[in-house]
Amino acid sequence: MDEIASPAHSPAASRPARTGISGILLSLVLVTYAAWVVFPMVWVAYSSLKPDRAIFEHTFALPQPGDLRFENYAHAWRQAHFGQYFLNSVIVTGCSVLLIVALGAMAAYALARFHHRAGRALFWVFLAGLMIPAQLAVVPLFFELRALDLLNSRVGLILVYTANGLPFAIFILAGFFRSLPRALHEAAVIDGCGEFAAFRRVMLPLARPGLVTVAIFQFIGVWKEYFFAYLLVGGDVDGTARTLPLGLANLSITAQYRSDYGMLFAGLMLVTIPILVTYALLQRHIVKGVAAGALRG
Amino acid sequence: MRTRPWTDAGRWFARAAAAIGCLVLAVPGRGGTTLDIPVFAGGYGLSFYEETARQFEALEAARGVKVHLYGDPRIHDKISVRAIGGDFPDAAAAAYVPWPALIRAGKVIDLRRYLDGPNWEGDARWRDTFYPGALESWEVDGHICGLPFTYACWTIFYNRSLFRAHGWTPPRTWDEFFALCDRMKAAGITPLSLAGTHQLYPEAFLRAAFYSRAGSAGWKALNALAPGARTSPAYLEAAALLQRITRQDTIRGWEGATHTGAQLAFLEGRTAMTVSGSWMLNEMAGKVPDGFELGAMNFPVFPDGRGDPTAIQTSSDCFFVFAKGDPRRERLTIDFLRYLTSRRRAEAFVREMDSPVAVRGVPRVAFSPRMRDTYAMIEQARSAFNMPQAMLQPPALLEALNDARFRLMTGAMTPREFGRRLEDAAATDRRRMADPLVVDDRHPVAGTLLLAGILATAVWLFGAERGRRRFARDTALAGLVPPDSPRPRPAAETASFGPLRARMAATFVGPAFALYAVLVLLPGATAFLWAFTHWDGLGPRTWTGWFNFRELLFESDTFWSALRNNLFLTVVPTLLVVPVALLLAAVIHRGVIGGRVFRVVFLFPNLLGGIAATLLWLNAYEPHGGLVNAGLVALGRLIHSEWLQSFDGFPWLTPDHLYAALVPIYLWMACGFNLILYLAAMEGIDPQLYEAAELDGASRVRQFFSVTLPMIWDLVGISAVFLVIAGLNAFEMVWLLTSQEPAGSSHTLGTLLVTTMFKYFEVGRAAALAVILLVLVLLASGVVLRVLRREPVGD
C-alpha cells in the first residue's frame, strides 16, 4: 500500500494514466481481478468444443484441433429450442421495454408537471414499488393471471414486467422532467400545441438521455429475468412463451440427467454470445446507462 | 422516436394495442380428439412412449384420436404449475407432483372401476395382469390412483470382471457385505459410489435393511406413521447401517455427486459397486465402456436368517388420469393406458429398454444377458415392497427427512438423533391430521425473539418524531426521492391547476397506474389477506387466523435455517463486495492504463445474468475436474501443498458448503455493478478537492479516506441496501445450484416460498412467507441506512 500511496506529483485533476512502479502494481491488481472475471468464461468457451468426457478429465486442456465437437452446439440448439426461446426473449423484452418507457414517460411527465396533493401521493405509491419484493406479489399474481387466462403466455409476462418496471422508470424520468425548464412547455402551449403534443414534441425529446437510461436498465433486467418467468410461464409446454433463462435452466437439468456436459457448455455459450456481441457494440452506452440508472435509483 | 411525431394520444395507444395484438398467438384449430399426456423423461427417455402413442393413433384412426405425448426430466414442475393453474392434462406420469392434494380435491380418478374391466387383449381382468403389489404404489384411502407401468428393481450393481479378477462373490449377509468392502479397500479399490444429491439412491440401503428386519408389517407401519416406528431398534439399526456405508465405504466427494455422476464413476471403474434401479443402463446409454460386465445383486440380509433374502425393492412410474369431466376423453385415455400395458407393448418395452415392467408374462428372452440377474430376482421374489412415494409422505416428515438424511449419512447426526428427529416430525404430522390448526412450539425462544426484534426495530425506525424525520431523509438518500430535485411549489403553479388539466393528467398517468395497480398493488395487498388462510389452490379457501405465521415462526425448522441462510447472504457478500468494488473503483479512478477496458470487462458478469452465471459456476464447482478444484489441485502441486491437493473431489455444493461456495459467485457477479456505480459517483467529485488535499501533502491513501470516501458515502450506503435486499430476496442461485430441489437446510426464504407454493400447493403458507419477507426487507433497508448514515460533520 505504501508504494501505491507514495509519489503523487501529477495533479489529480487531470488524472493521467500512471506510470512507474505504483502504476504497474495497480495495473497488476486490476489484471488479476480481470483474469478471475474472464477466465471462467474462457474455460466454458473452449470446453464447449471438447468431447463430453474430456471436459472434467483434462480440465485445463484445450480442445484437440482435429476433434472439435461442434455437435455439442447442435445438441444444445435442439434440446433447448434456442431459436424459439430466443425469439420469445426478444419479443418479451422488446415489448416490455417499449411499454415501460412509453407508459413510464407519460406518467412521470404528468406527475412531475402537475403539482397536486393527489399527484404527489400517487408518486409515492409508485415509488413504494421499488421496495416491494417480487416474491410478495407473485403468489396472488399467479392466480390473477390464471383468472385472466394470461398464464403461460407472452402477453401476461410482458404486462407483469411492464408493471414491475414502471416505478423505476417513473422515478428516473420524473427527475428529468422536473429539471426541464417550464418556459419551454409554456412556449409550446402558446404556439398552439395541445398538452399531448407539447409532451410528445417538446418535452419527450429533451428527456431522451433519461429514456435511454431507463431502456438500457430495463432491457438488462428483463432479458435475464428468471423468477417471474419460471413461475408465470413455467407451465408452458409448447414453448411459445418460455424465455431463454428458462430454456437454459432446463437445459442444465437435462444435461445433468444425462451427464452430457458438452451440450450444457455449448448452451451456455449460445446464451453468452449474443450478450457479448451486444455489449461489445453498445458498451459505451451500457456502462453509462447502468451508471446513470444506478446513481439515480 | 424522434423523426415522425405522433399526432395524438389515441394514435399512440392504437399502436401499442396493435403491437400487443400481434403477439397473441392464434391457437391452432384441432380436429378430432388430442390427448394431452406429459411423461417424466428420465432414464427411459421418451421414445418408447412416443412410439406407443403413434401405434395407438394408427389403431384408433377411425376414432380420430391423436396423442400429444411429451416430457423432460423436470416435467413435474410444469405439470404442477399447470395443475395449480387449473389446466389439467388428460393423464400424466411424473412422481413429484403433489398428487395427494390433487387426489383430495377430486382431480384424479380412481382407477378401480377400469381395473376390474378387461385388459387390452380382453382375455383377463386388467387388474390381474400386474405383478403383485405393483398397484399398491399409489393406493390412497383404498382408491387406486396411479397405474404402474415400469417395475424397476433397486439393486446393487457390481463390476463383474473386477469381482472375478479378485475372486469376490456377491455377499448374502450384511456381515459378508462389510467384510467384502474391507477386502476391496485392502486391494486399493473404493467399494461404492453413491449419489449425495439424490438421496433416494443411498437411502435404498436403509429401506432394504429395515424391510429385512421389520418385514411387511413393519414396512406398512412405518409408512402409516405408526408411533415409535422410527425409533424402533429395526429402524435405528438400518440407519446405522446406512451411515456406516456412507462414512466408510463410499468414494470421496460422493456428497456432491448426482446419481448419474455416481453411476459414471462406477462404470468408469473407479468403484466396484453402486446402487441404482433397473433403469440405470438406459440412463447411462452411451457412457458404458465397451466390454463392461455388469452384475446386479439383491440387497443382503441380516445374518440371523430372519429376513427374506428374495424380497425385492421396487418402484414404478405411474400414470395418473385427471378427472376432466369428459367421459369420452377419459375413456380414450384409459384405452391408451390399456394399450400401453398390453403384453405386446410390455414386451416391446423390455426389449427396447432392457428393464422390467409391472405387467406379467414377458418372456425371459426379452431381457439382455445383463439384465438376467434382475429378471431372476423378480421371478424368484417371494415378497416385494414399494419404495414409498415421496409425495405421499406428510409435509413435516418430508421436510425432516430431506434435512436429517444427509446429516445422518455424513455423520453430523447419530442414528438415534436421526430416528428421534423423524419421530418428532411424524408426531407433528399425526397431530396436524387430527387438528389442522395445532402448532408445535419447536422454536419458542427464537420465534418470540424475532417478533420482538421486528417490533423493536420498527419502533426504533418509526418511533420518535425526530427519528421519523431522519427516516424520511434516509429514504430520500436511498433514492426514493431525488435528493437534489427542486420541489418548488409556487402558489401560482398550484393555482393554475384546473379541472381540465386534472383530466389530462389522469390520461397521462392512467394507463401506467392501471397496470401497476392490477399487477403489483392488488396482488401485493392480496398476499396480506391470503397469509391468514389455508388454501391448496384447488379446493375452498378457509380462514386460519395467525396459523401460517405461528407455524413458520415457532414450528418450522426449514424456515429458521432459511432465515439463517438469508442472513448470511445479506451480511457476508455485502461486507466483501463493497470494499473490493471500492478498492477497484478507486484504482481505476485515480488513473491507470486501460481503465476503460477494465470497467467494461468487470461489468460483464452482471449483464450475463443470474442463470448463465450460476450455471457457469455450477460446472466450475464440479467435484472431480471442475475449474475450482482442478485449479486448487494444480496450485497445490505447484507449491507442494498437500492441503490444496486434497481438494480433488471436494463437494462444494452439498448443504454443508453451499453457502461458502456462493460467496465467490456473488463477488464475481456483483462487483462490476457496484464498481461502475462508485466510479460514476467518484467522477462527480470536484477535482479541486484533490488538488487541495495534495497541497496539504495528503498521500493517495489518505486522499481516498478523507476526500473520496466521504464524498460518495451516501452512495455506498445505497449500494449496501441493494446488496442487503438482494440477499434477502436470494432465489435463483440457490435454486439452480441445488437442481431446483434444495435440501431442508439449504433453502432461502425465496426458494422456500416457491417450493411451498408449487411443490406442496400450500398457497396460504407461501403468502405468509411473502409477507414476512416484505417486513424483513423494509426493516433491513431502514436499519442499513440508519447505521451507515453519516453523522453531520461541520462541512
User: What's the pLDDT tens digit per position in A240-275?
Assistant: 888 988 888 888 887 777 777 888 888 888 888 888
Helix boundaries (H) for B627-684: 627-638, 642-645, 658-683
Assigned C-alpha cell, B426: 411424524
Q: What is the pLDDT of residue B369?
A: 83
CA A177 to CA A105: how far, in whole Å? 9
pLDDT at res. B321: 94
Q: Look over chain B and give the mean of its residue pLDDT values, rounded to a whole number.
A: 83
Chain B residues within 8 A of A146 when measuring between CB atoms: 85-86
Within 10 Å of residue B417's Cβ, how many Cβ atoms? 14
Segment B648-667 shows an average pLDDT of 87
Q: B20-58 as b/e, with b when 16 or more CB fall inside 10 Å?
A: eeeeeeeeeeeeebbbbbbbbbbbbbbebbeebbebbbe
* Interchain CB distance below 8 Å, B16 and A99: yes
User: Binning pLDDT at 50, 70 and 90, where does residue B244 land?
Assistant: very high
The predicted pLDDT at position B497 comes to: 37
Stretch B754-759: mean pLDDT: 86
A279 touches chain B (CB under 8 A): yes
Pick the residue of A52, A127, A135, A189 with the most B CBs within 10 A to test the interface with B by mutation: A135
Record: contact A163-B519, CB cut-off 8 A: yes
B542-543 and B533-534 beta bridge pairing: antiparallel
Q: Looking at per-residue confidence, does B232 or A290 come out higher? A: B232
Res. B793: pLDDT tops 80: no
Q: Can you give the pLDDT at residue B4?
A: 40
Q: Contact, B602 vs A37, CB < 8 A?
A: yes
Q: Mind telling me how many Å the CA of A242 is from chain B's nearest CA? A: 12
Taking the Cβ of residue B616 and every Cβ of chain A, the question of whether any pair is shorter than 8 Å is answered with yes
Does the pLDDT of residue B734 top 80, yes or no?
Answer: yes
Mean pLDDT for B329-336 is 92
Structural contact between residues A43 and B631, judged by C-beta atoms closer than 8 angstroms: no
Per-residue b/e over B174-192, b at no fewer than 16 CB within 10 Å?
Answer: beebbebbeebeeeebbbb
Q: What is the pLDDT of residue B382?
A: 86
Asked if B411 contacts B243 with a C-beta cutoff of 8 angstroms, the reply is yes
- Containing B484, the helix (H) or strand (E) segment is none
Residues of B in Cβ contact (< 8 Å) with A295: 677, 680-681, 715
Candidate from A13, A126, A154 with C-beta closest to B516? A126
Alpha carbon distance A104, A168 (integer Å): 9
pLDDT of residue B745: 84
Q: Which residues of B344-383 are buried (b: 16+ CB within 10 A; e: fewer)?
A: ebbbbbbeebbbbbbbbebeeebbeebbebbbebbeebee
Does A259 touch chain B if contact means CB atoms closer than 8 Å? yes
Cross-sheet strand order for the sheet of B312-315:
B152-153, B312-315, B384-386
pLDDT tens figures, A136-172: 888 889 888 888 888 888 999 999 999 999 998 888 8
CB B617 within 8 A of CB A48: no
Longest CA–CA span in chain A (Å) reads: 75
The answer to whether B619 touches B626, Cβ cutoff 8 Å, is: yes
Mean pLDDT check: name the lowest of A110-124, A210-224, B418-432. Answer: A110-124
Q: What is the pLDDT of residue B709?
A: 84
Tell me the percentage of chain A whose pLDDT exceeds 70: 90
What is the average pLDDT value for chain A, to the nearest integer?
Answer: 80
- Rounded Cα distance between B80 and B102, Å, is 10
Element of type H or E holding A77: helix A71-79
Query: How close A276 gets to chain B, by Cα (Å)?
Result: 8
Q: Which of residues 2-21 of B touch A (CB under 8 A)?
A: 2, 5-9, 12, 16, 19-20
Which residues of B, range 318-377, sit inside 8 Å of A by Cβ?
Answer: none
Of residues A180 and B456, which shows the higher confidence score?
Answer: B456
Minimum Cα–Cα distance from B587: chain A residue? A26
- Is A137 in Cβ contact with B601 (below 8 Å)? no
Distances (CA, A) of B696 to A157, B333, B574, B702: 58, 86, 34, 11
Contacts of B723 in chain A (CB under 8 A): none
A1 vs B: CB within 8 A: yes
B754/A231 CB distance under 8 A: yes
pLDDT band at B188, cuts 50/70/90? very high
How many angstroms separate the CA atoms of B437 and B423, rounded? 20
- How many A×B Cβ pairs under 8 Å? 405
Q: What is the pLDDT of residue B340?
A: 93
Using the predicted structure, report yes or no on whether residue A17 has a pLDDT greater than 70. Answer: no
Q: Are B429 and B396 a contacting pair, CB within 8 Å?
A: yes
Residues of A in contact with B605 (CB under 8 A): 37
Q: Is the pLDDT of residue B496 over 50?
A: no
pLDDT of residue A91: 93
Residue B99 above 70 pLDDT? yes
B25 touches chain A (CB under 8 A): yes
Least confident stretch, A2-16, B251-265, B668-682:
A2-16
pLDDT for B562 beyond 60: yes
Q: Residue A234 is nearest to which of B38, B78, B511, comparing CB atoms?
A: B78
Q: What is the pLDDT of residue A295?
A: 64
Better-scored residue on pLDDT, B667 or B477:
B667
Choose the closest CB to B23 out of A91, A115, A171: A91
- Residue ranges of B 407-426 with Cβ closer than 8 A to chain A: none
Cell numbers standing for residue B147: 397405474
List, as ranges, residues 541-570 from B with C-beta within 8 Å of A: none
A126 Cα to chain B: minimum distance (Å) = 8
Is residue A112 within 8 Å of A178, Cβ to Cβ?
yes
| One-letter identity of residue B71 | G
- Return the number of other C-beta atoms located less than 10 Å from residue A282's C-beta: 14
Query: How confident is the model over B339-365, as pLDDT tens digits?
Result: 999 999 999 999 888 888 999 888 888
List the one residue out of B370, B602, B463 whose CA is nearest residue A279. Answer: B602
Q: Take residue A270 and report the three cell numbers written for it.
A: 449460445
Q: How many helices (H) and strands (E) does chain B have?
A: 34, 16
For B141-145, B453-457, B484-488, B616-620, which range has the lowest pLDDT when averaged over its residues? B484-488
Mean pLDDT of B416-420: 95
Q: What does the block give as the cell for B548? A: 401460517
Instruction: Please give the helix or strand (H or E) that residue A101 lies within, else none.
Output: helix A82-113
Instruction: Give the distance from residue A47's alpha carbon to the nearest chain B alpha carbon, in angstroms.
Output: 11
pLDDT, average across residues B215-238: 91
> Would you place residue B794 in the very low, low, confident or very high pLDDT band (cuts 50, 70, 90)?
very low
> How far apart (Å, rounded) are the C-alpha atoms in residues B347 and B314?
19
Out of B497, B591, B600, name the one closest to residue A18 (CB): B591
pLDDT of residue B477: 52
Inter-helix orientation angle A154-179/A117-128, to 10°: 130
Q: Tell whether pTM > 0.90.
A: no
- Is the distance from CB of A113 to CB of A176 less than 8 angstroms? no
Query: Which is higher by pLDDT, A192 or A69?
Result: A69
CB atoms within 10 A of CB B64: 11
The percent of residues above 90 in pLDDT, for chain A, comes to: 12
Measured from the Cβ of residue A128, the count of other Cβ atoms closer than 10 Å reads: 15
Mean pLDDT of A280-284: 78
- Cβ distance B5 to A201 under 8 Å? yes
Inter-chain CB proximity B767 and A55 less than 8 Å: no
Q: Is a pLDDT exceeding 60 seen at residue B47?
A: yes
Residue numbers in B near A127 (CB within 8 A):
480-481
| Res B90: pLDDT | 92
* Range from A249-258, B96-105, B118-127 carrying the lowest mean pLDDT: A249-258
Distance from the Cα of residue A85 to its chain's centroid: 17
Residue B706: per-residue pLDDT: 80
Using an 8 Å CB-CB cutoff, list chain B residues near A154: 23, 25
Task: Please report which confidence band the pLDDT of residue A27 belongs to, taking 50, 70 and 90 as the band edges.
Answer: confident
Beta partners for B696? none
Q: Is the pLDDT of residue B495 over 70?
A: no
Q: Do A235 and B82 touch (CB under 8 A)?
A: yes
Q: Which of residues 215-234 of A touch B (CB under 8 A)?
A: 220, 223-224, 226-227, 230-231, 234
Label residue B206 by pLDDT band (50, 70, 90).
Answer: very high
Residue A123 has pLDDT above 90, yes or no: no
Percent residues over pLDDT 90 in chain B = 30
- pLDDT class of B372 with cuts at 50, 70, 90: confident
List CB contacts (< 8 A) between B516 and chain A: 126, 129, 163, 166-167
A115 in reach of chain B (CB within 8 A) = yes
CA A203, A205, A208 angle in degrees (round to 5)?
Answer: 115
> In this structure, what C-alpha cell is assigned to residue B469?
424525520
C-alpha–C-alpha distance, residues B591 and A22, integer Å: 11
Please count the other Cβ atoms lying within 10 Å of the Cβ belonging to residue A281: 10
- Residue in B with minimal Cα distance to A127: B480
Q: What is the mean pLDDT of residues B674-698?
A: 83
Mean pLDDT, residues A200-214: 81
**Secondary-structure breakdown of chain A: helix, strand, coil percentages, each rounded to the nearest 5:** 75, 0, 25
Q: How many CB atoms lie within 10 A of CB A208?
A: 12
